[in-house]
Structure formats: structure tokens, C-alpha cells
Chains A and B, each alone.
Chain A
Amino acid sequence: MSDKFSIDDILAEIGSDNDVSKKTAKSSGVADKKAPSQSTPGATMILNSIDEKKKTQGKENTIEISTENLQHLKGVVGEGQRRPKESAQQTQKTAEPQKAKPSADENRYKKLSEFDDDEKPIKRRLNMAQDNTMSAKSSKIAKPSKEKPAVEASGKQENKSQTIFGSDDEKHKKKAEKISVSINTSANMTFKEKVKQYRFLFEELTKRDFKKKYKRTLLGVLWSVIAPFLTFLVRYFVFGYIFHRHDSGFVIYLLTGTLMFTFFTNATTNGMFSMYSNGGILSKVKVPKSLFVLSSNSAATFNFFLTLIVYFIFMIICNVSFGPHLLLMIYPILCLIIFNIGMSYILSALFVFFRDMQYLYQIFTMLLMYMSAIFYEVKHFPEELRFVFNINPVYHYISYMRQLVMQSSVPGFAEHIICLSFALGMLGIGYFVHSKTEQKFVYYY
């Protein structure tokens, strides 16, 4: 509430200025206790009373009535919010401020649930009631103070009636309402200019993501090469020399899996945070939100290509036969990039609403890692369990890479279709979820 003082206080004070009896002030105090949660009518009321004051200087009688009337109206509103039927009837009978009903608060929730059913008739009745009381007094009251409070009262009635405990009704209402926002910022812009403009923003965002990642590091971008190099080296020694699996090509099998899977987790985890961590910007500046998802993904992709250089070094160490077929590597990588973007769209939207996602996702990626057969081979599994790998898109991308690198052969046409459809499917779902929810993000930052 913006004012420290409720409208009752202010009205009471204005009233006492004009010799209104203390009774009014007292009853306003009662009204205050009656309805602590109710919102005060605010500036309109005060203004009207000021107008009254000016117009009818010296005519204390009129002012008294208008103040009383406002007071009374307030009573109607306050009562109406809780017990609409009775108050409406009472209004027709009496013009005096009503007394508190102690049981009202206890019955409040029950009454509210009944409320939406007969909301409309009540509203009509309440308005009628007000009109009646108003017209009775209108001879003495100036026009503005008659009109505005009545409008406000009915407005409040509507507000309260939207406080419904189930959300179904609300949904229906919202559908029925006309919503339209048209901002023709780019009305006189060609498609080319638009692309140019967004490309600039995209570049700046990607630069920023990358810069922030290596802020305050001595080696900077070099870490993108050093870190995977060291990881690969550790795995090379642990599995090659300690477990003596050097001969069977297991090391390159493992590194291929690690390469692809790390890219997947890095890109999607970055993507997950992209909406929330840019909340400060997104809630203040109108920018296409999906650019932030894309830029975080492109920073991760850039990192991946640096890691790919390291991977090539290890391919040489492991005596992989090089040939033009390796150019086809770009296919599973491209599919994985698309898949990552789709996944990031979903995760980033979910993360805005539920911060739990980061912990859940950690568990999920661990599960997925075991489902991707990075440390072991699928052939050790019984036939009926292998479907677990086949429904995992990341496994498809990894095994595509493995076949290219280790067997120097290109997977079949069906495999290409599977890889691409997983990627496009994920992108489609992700984009759909994101665009459905992005309007609500601003309330959750």
C-alpha cells in the first residue's frame, strides 16, 4: 500500500475538520478492523472530498453528508467483498454504516467459493443498491463524488471475484478477453536489416558469454584447449596403462564418447541458466529472448571446436586412420548442436520457474551418461536392455562418431534419418515450450 494512512484515516480527518461528529470517525475505525485486507479507494476519494471542500465552502452540512456517504459506500464495498448478498440487501434497507460481523472472517473462504457462481447477479444488485442510495442523496451531492465511488465500488467487486481458488474459471475468462499488443518497431524494416540487427546483438552476446567465462584467468581462452587436453590425458593413462586396455582401441572409444557427451552437458547446462541469469536485462529491455539461448549455445559450441582440436591430437596418438570419410563428422556434430539448442530452450524455460531444475538435471545427465555407453560397450548388455541406448539421442550421435573414427565406415541411411529427426524433434518441442512460456518469465526473475 502506498500511503501509510488508510483512506479511513484521511477521510476521518477531513471529516473532523468539517465538524463531523466523532461517531463517523469511530465507525471508520471499526471498518478498519473489519476489513484489514481490503484495498483503500485511494486518490479518487480524497480528491473528491477536496473538490467537495472547495465547491461547498461554508456548507458544512453537505460535506458531512458526502463524507458520510463515502464512508457508507466503503462499508458497502467492505461488506460486499465478504458477504455480497446480505450486504446488498442491507444497503437497500439502510443508509447507515454497517457494523462488523465477527463471524464474517470465519465464513470468508466458504463464501468465496460460492462467490463465482452468482457473481454477476450480485454485482448487478450491488450496483443497483448503490444507485438507489446515491440517487436518494444526489440532491445534496455534487456529481463527481457520485460517479466515481460507484465505479470504483463495482470495479473492486470485479477484482475480488477474480480471486478464485481454482484456476479453471480464470483460464476461461482470460481466453474470452481480448488481448493484443502490437509494437511496430520493425514495421519499416526489411528482412535484411532485421537479420543484420540481430546478428550484431547475437555477436555481442556471444562475445560477452565467452569473455565472462574466462574473466580473471591468466590463460584465458587457452583453458578451452588445456582443460580437455588434461582430461583426455588422464583418461588415456588411466585406461590405457592402468587398466591395460590400450590395444583394443578402447581409449579412442572412450574419448569419442567423452567429447560428445561433455559438449552436450556443457551446452545444455549453460543454456539452462541463460534465461534466468539474464533476467536483469530481459526484464528491462525488450529483446528477443531466444537470442540469449542461442548465444550461450554458440559459446559452448565454440568451446567444443577447440576441444575437437585436442581430440584430433589424440586421434593421431591412437593411430586412427585419417581419410576423407572423417569430414562426415560434421553431420553428428550438427545434429547435436541442434539437439542442444532444443534442449536448452526447454531447460531454460523450466529453470525460470523451478530452480530445482539444476539439481534434477545433474542427476538426469548422470543417468544419461550411463545410458550413452561411454565407459563400456553395448554388446555386454542383454538384448532386451539395449533399447535403453536406442532411445537415447546422444548415444546415436556418439556411436555415429565412433563408427566413423574407429571403423572408418559411414553408418547407414536410416541412422542419418534417426539422428536428424531426434535433433529436429527436440528443437521443435523446445521452441514450442519456450515460446508458450516466455511471456511469463518476467514475473519470475
Chain B
Amino acid sequence: MVIDVKNVTVQYTISNFREIGLKEYLIKKVKRDIKTEQFTAVDNVSFSLDEGDFLGIIGTNGAGKSTLLKVISGIMKPAKGSVTVNGKIAALLELGSGFDPDLTIKENIFLRGAMLGYTKEFVTEKYKDILEYAELTEFENRAFKQLSSGMKSRLAFSISCLMEPEILILDEVLSVGDAAFRAKSEATMVNIIKSGCCTLFVSHSLPQVRRLCNKVLWLDKGKQIAFGDVNTVCDKYDRYIRTVTNMQNIKM
């Protein structure tokens, strides 16, 4: 088992002390006026994945998909439950995240490689491939912030995929880039699955999920609605989305 998620619950404290400063915090602490409220972003989610599994995570906005990925990649700690991960994670959470806008592409690739836990030799070895795959060779010395958003996502995707991760986490990043790159990236994804890498993938594109994934997890407001075979869950989700859309049409 590569990833084992058991009864994971994530709670934030949404309270009035998050936005205030030190002075008000102290005053309110003295007055005992601090209102804390627990917001449950992920509620009792359990699933497990094996080598070569490709999990699609679907659900409406704010369903807790990204939060769940953050827990799996170890950035957040769950309030309850346990996460067991065996393997090296290459997480790509959101477009252009974890890059430094002021550094050049070259520097960013090395920095990113270092952050993903690779050695200098390995990154140097892979560097050329990454640039070529992302089709950014001529922009090598441009600052990251000067890239177009499509280029940024291409770079991010290339780094994460070409570093031979054992676990790959992609959060809504396959839907950007031009059509040609998208086709290329999907082909790469298929290769990655074949290599036995376990992938977690958030998408709002149901056809894409059906094409790539073999398991699907459906979250809604943090709750696990369904987990299982791709077609069963997707059909269910499709029906749900259609119902909601119909409702909206009627309303209008």
C-alpha cells in the first residue's frame, strides 16, 4: 500500500483572532472575547491506494480536495485520523505554486528540485530534459514572473513529472497549456502510471478523469460521498451535476 488515509478530518480555526493584530488579541484574551469556530474542511475521509493507481478526486469548489492533498503531502496535519505515505512525493498544488517569481527558470528548476528532495547531480542530469519537455529552452534565463500562465504550468508539470516521483500529486494543473501540450502531458501521465507511480489528481473535467483514472474519490463539503471504480462514481457524479444544473435552469 502506497498511500493509506484513515478517517482523516481537517479542521481550521476560523475565528476573529486570525485577522487581528497583537494588541487586539491581548485585549480580547483579557476580556475572554475570543470566538473560535472550527471549520471542518475534510470530514472523515478514508481510502487507500496501491502502486500504479491513478486516483481522480472530484467534487464542487470548496469540497476539500486541495486540503486533502495538502494533508497527504504533509503540509497540514489532520485533526483526526492518520495518513501513511510510502514514497517520494512530487506535489504540484495549484499553478505556479512554490516558485519564486524573481528567480530565473534555471534557478527555479534547481530550487524546486532541491525542495522536492533531490540531489544536485540528479537535477543537473534532468535539467535539459525538463527544459526541452516544457518547450522553454529559449527562456532559460527569463524570470519566472515573465512567463505566461500556460508556460508556468508547463514548467511546473515538467518538473514534477520528469523527476521520477514515486507519488505524484496534481491539483487542477492539467487543464492549462495549449491543446498540443495537453495531449503530450496526458501521454506522459499514461507512461507514469505504467512506471508504477501512484498519482493523485484533482480535476473538474469528468472526461479527463474517465480517461486517465482507475479510481475516483468524490468529496462534497469535506465529506466522502463515494470512493471506488471510475465509471460507477463518475456516473453518479454526472447525475448529481445534471440535477443541480437543472435546478439552476428552472430557477432562472
Residues in chain A within 8 A of chain B (CB atoms): 1-5, 9-10, 13-14, 39-40, 42-44, 46-47, 50, 152, 155, 159, 162-167, 170, 174, 177-187, 193, 196-197, 200-201, 203-205, 207-208, 211-212, 215, 280-287, 354-357, 360, 439, 442-444
Residues in chain B within 8 A of chain A (CB atoms): 11-13, 18, 21-23, 25, 32, 34-38, 40, 43-44, 59-63, 70-71, 73-89, 91, 93-94, 97-98, 100, 102-103, 107, 110-112, 114-120, 123, 218, 220-221, 223, 225, 236, 239-240, 243-244, 246-248, 250-251
Given known A-B contacts A159-B40, A208-B111, A4 and B248 have beta carbons under 8 A apart: yes
Asked whether, in the complex, the Cβ of A185 is within 8 Å of the Cβ of B117, the reply is yes
Residues of A near B218 (CB, < 8 A) are 43
CA distance A201 to B81 in the complex (A): 31
CA distance A5 to B83 in the complex (A): 34
Main secondary structure of the interface of B (DSSP, over half): mixed
Tell me the minimal C-beta distance from A29 to chain B in angstroms. 13
Tell me the minimal C-beta distance from B90 to chain A in angstroms. 9
Asked whether, in the complex, the Cβ of A443 is within 8 Å of the Cβ of B13, the reply is yes
Asked whether, in the complex, the Cβ of A284 is within 8 Å of the Cβ of B114, the reply is no
Tell me the minimal C-beta distance from B176 to chain A in angstroms. 16
Specify the chain B residue showing the minimal Cβ separation from A193.
B119
Tell me the minimal C-beta distance from B22 to chain A in angstroms. 4
Given known A-B contacts A185-B85, A204-B114, A284 and B225 have beta carbons under 8 A apart: no
Extra 16 A-B pairs, beta carbons < 8 Å, given A44-B220, A164-B36:
A10-B243, A10-B244, A43-B225, A46-B240, A159-B38, A163-B37, A177-B79, A178-B81, A181-B82, A185-B85, A204-B107, A208-B107, A281-B98, A281-B100, A283-B97, A356-B23
Partner of B115 from the list A177, A287, A443 (CB cut-off 8 Å) is A287
- Can you list 27 contacts pairing A with B, beta carbon distance less than 8 Å? A2-B63, A2-B220, A13-B247, A42-B223, A43-B60, A43-B223, A43-B240, A46-B240, A155-B223, A159-B38, A162-B38, A166-B32, A179-B77, A181-B71, A183-B84, A184-B84, A185-B74, A200-B118, A200-B119, A201-B114, A201-B117, A204-B111, A208-B111, A283-B70, A356-B21, A356-B22, A443-B18
Asked whether, in the complex, the Cβ of A280 is within 8 Å of the Cβ of B79, the reply is no
Partner of A442 from the list B75, B87, B98, B100 (CB cut-off 8 Å) is B75
Tell me the minimal C-beta distance from A182 to chain B in angstroms. 5
Asked whether, in the complex, the Cβ of A5 is within 8 Å of the Cβ of B91, the reply is no
Residues of A near B88 (CB, < 8 A) are 185
Tell me the minimal C-beta distance from B123 to chain A in angstroms. 8
Specify the chain B residue showing the minimal Cβ separation from A181.
B83
Specify the chain B residue showing the minimal Cβ separation from A443.
B12
The 5 closest A-B pairs by CB, nearest first: A43-B220, A2-B60, A284-B97, A201-B114, A356-B22
Partner of B82 from the list A9, A164, A178 (CB cut-off 8 Å) is A178
Tell me the minimal C-beta distance from B190 to chain A in angstroms. 25
Given known A-B contacts A167-B34, A205-B111, A46 and B60 have beta carbons under 8 A apart: no
Asked whether, in the complex, the Cβ of B103 is within 8 Å of the Cβ of A211, the reply is yes
Tell me the minimal C-beta distance from B238 to chain A in angstroms. 11
Partner of B18 from the list A5, A163, A444 (CB cut-off 8 Å) is A444
Residues of B near A42 (CB, < 8 A) are 220-221, 223
Asked whether, in the complex, the Cβ of A183 is within 8 Å of the Cβ of B85, the reply is yes
Asked whether, in the complex, the Cβ of A13 is within 8 Å of the Cβ of B250, the reply is yes
Residues of B near A1 (CB, < 8 A) are 62
Residues of B near A2 (CB, < 8 A) are 59-63, 220-221
Asked whether, in the complex, the Cβ of B244 is within 8 Å of the Cβ of A46, the reply is yes
Residues of A near B82 (CB, < 8 A) are 178-182
Pick the most buried of A4, A181, A212, A280: most chain B CB atoms within 10 A of its CB. Answer: A181
Given known A-B contacts A5-B248, A47-B236, A184-B86, A208 and B221 have beta carbons under 8 A apart: no
CA distance A50 to B62 in the complex (A): 23
CA distance A167 to B79 in the complex (A): 15
Asked whether, in the complex, the Cβ of B85 is within 8 Å of the Cβ of A284, the reply is no
CA distance A368 to B70 in the complex (A): 41
CA distance A354 to B22 in the complex (A): 6
Asked whether, in the complex, the Cβ of B225 is within 8 Å of the Cβ of A183, the reply is no
CA distance A237 to B36 in the complex (A): 58
Specify the chain A residue showing the minimal Cβ separation from B15.
A167
Residues of A near B103 (CB, < 8 A) are 208, 211-212
Tell me the minimal C-beta distance from B80 to chain A in angstroms. 5
Residues of B near A207 (CB, < 8 A) are 107
CA distance A142 to B34 in the complex (A): 45
Residues of B near A183 (CB, < 8 A) are 74, 83-85, 89
CA distance A13 to B59 in the complex (A): 22
Given known A-B contacts A215-B102, A284-B91, A284-B93, A5 and B244 have beta carbons under 8 A apart: yes
Tell me the minimal C-beta distance from A38 to chain B in angstroms. 12
Residues of B near A360 (CB, < 8 A) are 22
Partner of B117 from the list A166, A197, A444 (CB cut-off 8 Å) is A197
Asked whether, in the complex, the Cβ of B25 is within 8 Å of the Cβ of A354, the reply is yes
CA distance A443 to B36 in the complex (A): 14
CA distance A356 to B202 in the complex (A): 37
Residues of B near A285 (CB, < 8 A) are 73, 75, 91, 93, 97-98, 112, 115-116
Partner of B75 from the list A201, A286, A444 (CB cut-off 8 Å) is A286
Asked whether, in the complex, the Cβ of B74 is within 8 Å of the Cβ of A163, the reply is no
Residues of A near B248 (CB, < 8 A) are 4-5
Residues of A near B43 (CB, < 8 A) are 155
Residues of A near B74 (CB, < 8 A) are 181, 183, 185, 286
Residues of B near A205 (CB, < 8 A) are 111, 114
CA distance A85 to B103 in the complex (A): 61
Pick the most buried of A39, A166, A201, A439: most chain B CB atoms within 10 A of its CB. Answer: A201
Asked whether, in the complex, the Cβ of A3 is within 8 Å of the Cβ of B60, the reply is yes
Asked whether, in the complex, the Cβ of B98 is within 8 Å of the Cβ of A280, the reply is yes
CA distance A246 to B12 in the complex (A): 61
Residues of A near B70 (CB, < 8 A) are 283, 442
Tell me the minimal C-beta distance from A396 to chain B in angstroms. 29
Asked whether, in the complex, the Cβ of A182 is within 8 Å of the Cβ of B225, the reply is no
Residues of A near B119 (CB, < 8 A) are 193, 196-197, 200
Asked whether, in the complex, the Cβ of A39 is within 8 Å of the Cβ of B120, the reply is no
Tell me the minimal C-beta distance from A436 to chain B in angstroms. 13
Asked whether, in the complex, the Cβ of B83 is within 8 Å of the Cβ of A182, the reply is yes
Asked whether, in the complex, the Cβ of A47 is within 8 Å of the Cβ of B240, the reply is yes
Asked whether, in the complex, the Cβ of A50 is within 8 Å of the Cβ of B243, the reply is yes
Tell me the minimal C-beta distance from B179 to chain A in angstroms. 27
